[in-house]
A and B are shown apart, each in its own frame.
Chain A
Amino acid sequence: MSDFPTSAKVVVIGAGIVGNCLVGHLARLGWTDMVLIEKGPLPNPGGSTGHASNFIFPVDHNKEMALLGVQSANQYRDMNLSVDSGGIEVARTEERMAELNRRMTSAKAWGVEAELLTPAQVKELVPFINDEVILGGFHCPSVSVVDSLETGTVMRKEAQETAGLQVFANTEVLEMLVDDDPVPGMRRIKGVVTDKGTIEAEYVVIACGVWSNRIANMAGTYIPLVPAVHQMADVGPMDVLVETNNEIGYPIVRDMDTFCYERQSAGSMEVGSYAHRPILHHPDEIPSNEEAALSPTEMPFTPDDFDQQMEEAIELMDMLGDAEIKYAINGLLSLTPDAMPCLGELPDVRNLWSAAAVWVKEGPGMAQVVAEWMTYGYPRVIDPHASDISRFYNDEKSDEHIWARAEEHFNKTYGIVHPSEQWETRRGLKESSLKAITDGLGAEYFTARVWERPHWYTSNADLLERYGLSEREVEWDNRWWSPIIDAEHLNLRENAGMVDLTAFQIFDLTGPGAVAFAEYLSVNKVDKPVGTSTYTPWLTPDGGFHSDLTMLRLAEDHIRIMTGAFDGGRDEAWIMKYMPTDGSVTFANRTEDFVTIGLWGPNAPAILGKLTEADLSQTGSPYGSVRTVTLATGDGDIEVDLFRISYVGDTGWEIYVPWDQAPSVWTALEAAGTDHGLRPCGAGVYAVGGRIEKGYRLMGAELESEYNPVEAGLARPKVKAAEFIGREAYLAAREAGPDAVMCTFAVEDHTDSQGRQRFIQAGNAPIVTNEGERILDSHGRVSVVTTAGNAPSYGKYLCLGYLPVDMAEIGNTFKVMYMNELFPVTVVATTGSAFDPEDTRLKS
C-alpha cells in the first residue's frame, strides 16, 4: 500500500473506545502526525467495545473510577450519544441494604443525584419487577446508556479532520521496534512493524483491550491484564418493552446480590452476569476476526455457567422466563490483578504508553487522562496513582498472579467490598526476614501490594484489659480491625513499640551526579551535610504531588531514598524516567538488602541505649539525623544505621539492619525492652492511628496530584535556589496561596439513628456543611475524608480532609456522611497536629 506511512509522531494501536477517544483528545491538545492502526474492520473491529452493554452507573466508591465515570458519561452526553435511562441497584439482603446506604454516601461524595427506594417505589419505575424478593433499591437517575461505537467513530473522525490523523483498519502489528537507552534497565520505543509496512514513531500507545499484553510482550514489557468472560444473554421480545418504542425506556436494574443486571435493549432485555465461575483466557486463545463466528471477543456461550443466573433473573422478572434467548455470548473484557486500569508510560520502555483494561463506562475519561499525561507530563483531570501502570511490582507481572487475582475479584464486581478488604490468593510474595518472629507473635498480616506487613499482633491481646478496650458495636466497623491496634498505640505512647517496616522501599542513588539529580526531583533541599535527611514532596510538572518521601545523605555522592510499599513502583519509575543519561548517577533498589525496624515511644532511648555505647541524646542523634552505630546483640555486634525520625509522633528511630541480621537485632531489642514495656506494634498504629493523631499526610490519601504542598501544609518558609520538577508551578502556588487546606476533624458523636456507635471507615466519606450540603473549593474539588481512624491518645476518632480555605478554622463544625447518616465533626487542627502540636514528645 503506497500511502502507508513510514514515520509518525504517534502510533496508537487499537480503535476501540479507548484508542478512538485517545486520538480525539490528543488532537484537541494539539497533537498532529498521528496514525491509528487497528487489526479489525471499522467501525466495529471486534474488541470488547463492540459487545459492551454500554451503560454507566456513575457511583463508585473508588475516586478515580467514580470521577472518570462521571467525566466519561458527560463526554458521551456532550456528543449526544447518550440517553439517561436511570438505573436502580436492588437489594435482596440486609447486608446489601447497608451497602446501598454506602452507595448513597459515595453518590453524595461525587455529586451524583441518588435516592433510596422502597420495593413499591422500585416497582413504580420498573412495573415488571417482583418487589417481593427485594428489600429496596438505590436509584440513580443519571445512569446512562451510550453508543460507544459511534462515539469512537466521532472522536476518530474529529482527529482525522482537525489533526490529519491517518487511520488504517485491517492492519495487524507483527513486531514492536525498541531501541536501547543510555540508562541501564531502560529502553525506548522506536516504531511498529505491521502487515502493511513499518512505521517509525516517537510515541506508541497500546490501546488494544484484551490483546494489550500480547502487544506489550512484543516490546519486551508487560501490561498485567487477562481477558475474562462476562456472560450476557439477550432475551425477547417482550410486549412491555416493545411498547416503549425505544432503545431504552426503563431504568437498568442491577440485581446486586445475584451479581446480574437487566438492561432493556429495544424490545429485548439483556441479562448480564458477573456471577458465573471466573472464565479466563490467554490472548492467544482469542480467535482472529476470520475465525470468530460473531466477533473475536464474543466467544461461544457456555450455557451451563449461566443457568443459575437465569433462575434468579426469572425470580426477579418473571416475564424473562418466557422470552426467547436470541443471542448469548461469552463476552471478553479485561481484568487486572487489582481491578484497576493500566494507564501511563511503561516503566521500562520510554514513550511506550498503555491505555488498557479500561471499560466503556470510563473510556473517554481514561483516554483524556492518558492524552493529558502524554501532553503535560501528568494528567490534569485527576490523580491517576491507582491506575498508573508503574504501580505494579515484578511479582505482579506474571500470568499466575494475574489469573489468581482476577479469579478472586471477578465475582466481587458487584460484591460488597470493605475498604480494608485483604486478598486471599497470592499471599506471602514478599516477606520479611523477621517473618518467623512475627509469626510467633501472632501477627495479623495485611498486604501492601506484594509485601506482607503485620497489622497487629494477637500476642498483645492482654493489653486490652489494661487499657479497657473492646470491639466495635457494628460488624462492618470491626471488620479488618482489632482493638489491639489501639492497645498497641497506647502502649507505644506509654512505653515503647517496635514496628516491622520491612516493606519500606529503599533506593540508592550514587555517583557524582547523585545529589544534583536528587535535588532535581525534590522540592526541599537535599544537598545538605552527610548524616542529614530531607523529607520532601516530589512534584508533577504542574506542581501537584507525585510522591512524598524521605532522602538520606549517606555520603558525598550517596543519597538513600525511603518510600512506602504502595508507591515503590511509581517512585522507581519516576526516578528512571528522569535519570541523567550521562552515566553520572547509578540507581540501585536496595529494598531486600535491609530490614527497617521502627522503635518509638518514651522508653525508646533507654531500650536502644542498652545495646550501644553511642550517644543517643538529641545532641548525639538529633532529630532528622542518620548515623551508623554498632548494636550488641546475642549474635554479636551488628552495624546498623540509625535514622532519628518518626511517623507516629514519639521519639525514636528507624533502624536499618542488613537483611539477614534483622532477627538478631529484633531479638536484642525485645530483650532490652522487657523491663520498659516494649511491645511489637503493627501497621495499624504506624499507618493510621499514630500518624492521624499527628496529622502526617500519606501519598494517595491526603497527597494527590490535584493538591500542592501549600494546600497540604507542607510548604517550607523558603524555596531553594536549585531547579526541580514542578518549581514554576510551586512558586505560583505559593504566590496564590492555598485554595484548600488540609484539616484534622474530631468526631463529636458516633451515635447513628438506630442508637449504635458507628466508626467512619477509611476514605472518601463526604465532609458536608451542617445543613448537609457538599463542600467544593473554587477549583471544584470536593471535601471528603482522606483518612479516618481512632486516635486513642488524643481521645477521639479523627478524620483528615481538605476544606476550602475560608472554612478551614479550628473550632468550625461540619458533618461527615457515613453509611448515609450524618455525624458531627469539629476542626481540631489545620496544618498542624491534633495531638502534641508542639512536638514535645518527638524532641524528648
Chain B
Amino acid sequence: MNILVCVKRVPAPGAKINVTDDGQSVDAAHLGFTTSPHEECALEEAVQIAERDGGEVTVLTLGPVEAEEQLRYAASVGAHKIILVPTDGSAWDPQRTAVALTQAIETAEAANGSAFELILFGNESADSGGFQVGVRVAHKLGRPIVNAIKGIVPGDGSVTANREIDGGFEVYEVPTPAVLGVKEGINLPRYPTMKGRLASKKAVLETAEIDAAAGGQTLVKLHRPPEQASNTEILGTDESAASAIVDILEEIGVLA
C-alpha cells in the first residue's frame, strides 16, 4: 500500500509562545520546531503499515524552506520519499493550503502513475488547529474522508478506520483511495535512530512549486490568552496537612 502523509512544521510544545509586536506571527526567537503530534502518529502508522504489508510512504509538507527539517525527520523514521511545497514563509490560509496540496498530490500521483491508496492527515494542526485542510483536500480529490481516527486496518480495495467517540469506537469501512484524519494515541511514534538520521541526509528532497491563490481567510491579529491564574491552595507544610487532604479527598469522592 502506497501511503501519503501530510505534515506541518509547528513550534515545539512546552514553551511560552510569544507573538511578534505586529501580532502577525509567532516570535520564533527561542523556538524549536517539530511536526504536529497527530501527524507524527499518522507517519508512524504509515511506516508500520508499509513495514508490515509493503509499499512506500511519501511525506508531503507545505511550509517555509526550513520545513525540510521535518521532512528529513520523517525520512529518519522510515519515510521513503519527501516532498516540500515551499511557501514564502508567510502563513497560508486553509483554502490556499488545500489547493496547493491537492495540486502537489495530483502531480505526485501522475508521476507515480497511480493514486496513493491512503492519504493521512493529522486530525488538526498543533498550531492553528483549523480542522480544515484534510477535509478540503479530500473534497477536491473526490475521495472519502473520516476524521478522528485511532485505528487503521488496510483491506483489499478498502480500509477500515476506527473513530474514537465517547465510550467506544465507530468503525468505518471506506473504499480506497481514501483520506483519514489521524489522532494522537493511535500508536506511540518511534524516535529516529542514529542510523536513521544519517540515512535521512541522503533522502532526495523533491520540491513542488505550486502557485495557489489566497483563500478568503485573513489573519487579523494573534494575541496571547491571559495567563491562567493559578488556583493553588497550600493546605499546610507539616503533618497537620494530612487531615486537610483527607477532607478534600472525601469532598471530591475519592474517599468514602
| A positions within 8 Å CB-CB of B | 233, 235, 285, 287-288, 290-294, 299-301, 303, 307, 310-311, 313-314, 320-326
Contacts and interface: CB of A to CB of B under 8 A. Distances in A.
A409 to B, nearest CB: 27
Interface string B47-71: 0000000000000000000000100
Given A285-B29, A300-B32, A322 B195 contact: yes
A314 B199 CA distance: 13
Contacts of A291: 15-16, 18, 30
22 contacts: A233-B194, A235-B193, A235-B194, A287-B30, A288-B16, A290-B15, A292-B14, A293-B13, A293-B31, A294-B14, A300-B31, A303-B197, A307-B198, A310-B197, A311-B198, A314-B198, A321-B194, A322-B194, A322-B195, A324-B191, A324-B193, A325-B193
- Shortest 7 CB-CB distances between A and B: which pairs? A300-B32, A287-B30, A324-B191, A293-B14, A290-B16, A321-B195, A293-B15
B243 to A, nearest CB: 26
Interface in B165-203: 190-195, 197-198, 201
B12 interface: yes
Contact of A313 (B12, B16, B194): B194
B11 to A, nearest CB: 8
A323 B12 CA distance: 23
Q: Residue among B12, B15, B18 with the most chain A CB within 10 A?
A: B15
Interface SS of B by simple majority: loop
Contacts of A310: 194, 197-198
A303 B71 CA distance: 13
Contacts of A326: 191
Given A291-B30, A307-B201, A300 B12 contact: yes
Given A291-B16, A293-B12, A311-B198, A322 B31 contact: no
Given A303-B69, A324-B192, 15 more contacts: A285-B29, A292-B14, A293-B12, A293-B14, A293-B32, A294-B14, A299-B32, A303-B197, A307-B197, A311-B198, A321-B193, A321-B194, A323-B194, A324-B191, A325-B197
A287 B15 contact: yes
Contacts of A313: 194
Interface residues on B, range: 20 to 34
Contacts, number: 66
A303 B194 CA distance: 11
A265 to B, nearest CB: 15
Nearest to A319: B194
A298 to B, nearest CB: 10
Contacts of A325: 191-194, 197
Nearest to A300: B32
Contacts of B16: 288, 290-291
Interface in B15-49: 15-16, 18, 29-33
A314 B193 CA distance: 11
Contacts of B194: 233, 235, 310, 313-314, 320-323, 325
Q: Residue among B13, B69, B193, B198 with the most chain A CB within 10 A?
A: B193
Q: Residue among B14, B69, B193, B194 with the most chain A CB within 10 A?
A: B194
Interface in B185-241: 190-195, 197-198, 201
A322 B15 contact: no
B84 to A, nearest CB: 17
Nearest to B195: A321
A292 B30 contact: yes
A307 B201 CA distance: 9
Contacts of B15: 287, 290-293
A290 B17 CA distance: 9
B53 to A, nearest CB: 23
Nearest to B15: A293
A291 B198 CA distance: 30
A415 to B, nearest CB: 24
Contacts of B195: 314, 321-322
A350 to B, nearest CB: 36
Nearest to B17: A291
A313 B198 CA distance: 12
B39 to A, nearest CB: 18
A669 to B, nearest CB: 60
A322 B13 contact: no
Contacts of A290: 15-16
Contacts of B197: 303, 307, 310, 325
Q: Residue among A235, A288, A291, A310 with the most chain B CB within 10 A?
A: A291
A324 B190 contact: yes
Contacts of B31: 293, 300
Nearest to B201: A307
A686 B225 CA distance: 70
Nearest to A320: B194
Nearest to B12: A293
Contacts of A301: 32
Q: Residue among A294, A303, A307 with the most chain B CB within 10 A?
A: A303
A300 B29 CA distance: 11
Nearest to B30: A287
A41 to B, nearest CB: 13
A316 to B, nearest CB: 12
Nearest to B191: A324
Nearest to B69: A303
A111 B245 CA distance: 55
Q: Residue among B12, B29, B31, B195 with the most chain A CB within 10 A?
A: B195
Interface string B72-88: 10000000000000000
Contacts of A292: 14-15, 30
B226 to A, nearest CB: 14
B43 to A, nearest CB: 15
A233 B29 CA distance: 22
